[in-house]
């Protein structure tokens, strides 16, 4: 298969990135970063997470942040939601996309959600019904699709079963998570062959963490299989606090740079993305893994 003409980038930095940082950014600082990302014309930003503040303290100002945003019309604002309590906060915050999550491996689900997979599914089903009744879009992550820190390989049957169940709830988009960055191109090709035999590509996004530097190669493989939605994180921040070994997501600016070189349209402004990555790098006060950011900095110093 050839390459697609257009790709949608799902920016997850303010959520996946900050949930894994120890540094505290106050609400105004988070807004500033989100504003820089808005300036890059990203179509989607996952701005925060309505999980328990004890579990993810760096996002404890989720509602205040969401309510304080000066939202742009052509941009979709999303947040992560674990359960009905989080959903109530999400509705108060008035965002457009509710992003739910479940893991394809039992142990990770238990550590992440404090529930079994079977206990999590009805919660997601009910939240999907509630979100749809309020006219919101729905997304669900399936984590550990390419490897689990506790159970190692996850059987593909389990991923297919969960994808089918989530789509049967009416969820608009499923994002398959490589939570600890174990995926490699051959595995991505094989898993997508099986998935795309059964489900349409326009329902599937991919979410690669870049722990072993395979993120871009995996995205290229997925593009050739027909996937057109990819999650990425400004600067390459990211990681799941309940998945040991997980590190940053593939950096948004690296993904956009590769896509543009491939002649694929994203509508995203790369220099603005670099500015946003530079800003967050200074805030977290450590060198981030973004290649484009490094190249830009060595060019300008
Ligand atoms: P729990 O402790 O089992 O909750 O947490 P509970 O239902 O037993 O309730 C205990 C107390 O927590 C109650 O309060 C609830 O009201 C309260 P009390 O009656 O004792 O005063 N509570 C809440 N408070 C605020 N917000 C809420 C909430 N829910 C309950 N939403 C829970 C269950 C799921 C909330 C918890 O386990 C949790 O917060 N987990 C989140 C873990 C997390 O954020 N992980 C990272 C995100 S997932 C990820 O990164 C992967 C992804 O990027 C894809 C990939 O890379 O693969 C998406
Ligand atoms: Mg993630």
Q: What is the CATH number of the domain that holds 205?
A: 3.20.20.70
Query: What atom of ligand 1 comes closest to residue 249's alpha carbon?
Result: 56
| For the CA of 140, the nearest ligand | 1
CA of 290 to the centre of ligand 2 (A): 16
* Residue 256 counted as domain residue: yes
Ligand 1 within 6 A of 179 CB?
A: yes
Residue pLDDT, tens place only, 51-99: 999 999 999 999 999 999 999 999 999 999 999 999 999 999 999 999 9
* Residue 163 counted as domain residue: yes
* Residue 98 counted as domain residue: yes
Q: Number of structural domains, the chain?
A: 1
pTM of the full predicted structure?
A: 0.97
Choose the residue to mutate in 18, 21, 51 for probing ligand 1, maximizing ligand atoms within 8 Å of C-beta.
Answer: 51
* Residue 2 counted as domain residue: no
Q: Which domain, by its residues, includes 247? A: 8-299
Pairing of strands 97-103, 8-11: unpaired
CA of 17 to the centre of ligand 2 (A): 8
| Lookup: tokens for 257 | 């740079």
| Lookup: tokens for 44 | 């989607």
What distance in Å separates the CA atoms of residue 288 and residue 246, rounded to the nearest whole number? 15
CA-closest residue to ligand 1 atom 47: 240
What b/e readout covers 143-174, taking b as 16+ CB neighbours within 10 angstroms? bbbbbbbeeeebeeebbbebbebbbebebbbb
Told to judge if 292 belongs to the known catalytic residues of this protein, a careful annotator would answer: no
- Residue 235 φ/ψ, nearest 5 degrees: 80, -15
What pLDDT, on the 0 to 100 scale, is given for residue 298? 85
Residues of the chain under the 70 pLDDT cut: 1, 301
* Residue 247 counted as domain residue: yes
As a whole number, the mean pLDDT across the chain is 97
Residue pLDDT, tens place only, 94-138: 999 999 999 999 999 999 999 999 999 999 999 999 999 999 999
Ligand 1 within 6 A of 111 CB?
A: no
What pLDDT, on the 0 to 100 scale, is given for residue 301? 60
* Residue 3 counted as domain residue: no
What pLDDT, on the 0 to 100 scale, is given for residue 136? 98
What pLDDT, on the 0 to 100 scale, is given for residue 299? 78
């Amino acid at each position: 298969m050839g390459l697609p003409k257009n790709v949608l980038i799902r920016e997850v930095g303010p959520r996946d990135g900050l949930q894994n940082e120890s540094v505290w950014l106050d609400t105004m600082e988070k807004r500033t970063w989100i504003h820089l990302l808005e300036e890059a014309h990203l179509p989607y930003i996952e701005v925060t997470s309505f999980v328990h503040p004890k579990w993810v303290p760096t996002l404890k100002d989720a509602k205040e942040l969401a309510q304080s945003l000066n939202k742009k019309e052509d941009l979709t604002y999303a947040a992560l939601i674990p359960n009905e309590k989080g959903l109530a906060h999400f509705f108060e915050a008035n965002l457009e996309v509710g992003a739910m999550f479940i893991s394809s491996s039992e142990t990770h689900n238990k550590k992440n959600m404090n529930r079994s997979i079977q206990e999590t599914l009805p919660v997601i089903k009910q939240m999907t019904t509630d979100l749809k009744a309020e006219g919101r879009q729905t997304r669900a992550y399936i984590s550990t699709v390419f490897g689990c820190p506790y159970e190692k390989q996850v059987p593909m049957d389990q991923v297919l079963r969960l994808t089918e169940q989530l789509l049967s709830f009416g969820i608009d988009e499923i994002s398959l998570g490589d939570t600890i960055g174990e995926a490699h191109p051959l595995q991505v090709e094989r898993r997508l062959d099986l998935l795309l035999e059964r489900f349409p590509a326009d329902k599937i996004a991919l979410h690669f963490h870049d722990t072993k530097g395979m993120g871009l190669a995996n995205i290229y493989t997925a593009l050739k299989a027909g996937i057109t939605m990819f999650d990425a994180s400004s600067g390459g921040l990211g990681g799941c606090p309940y998945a040991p070994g997980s590190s940053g997501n593939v950096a948004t600016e690296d993904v956009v740079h590769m896509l543009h070189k491939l002649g694929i349209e994203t509508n995203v402004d790369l220099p603005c993305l670099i500015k946003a990555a530079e800003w967050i790098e200074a805030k977290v006060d450590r060198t981030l893994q973004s290649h484009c950011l490094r190249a830009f900095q060595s060019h300008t110093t």
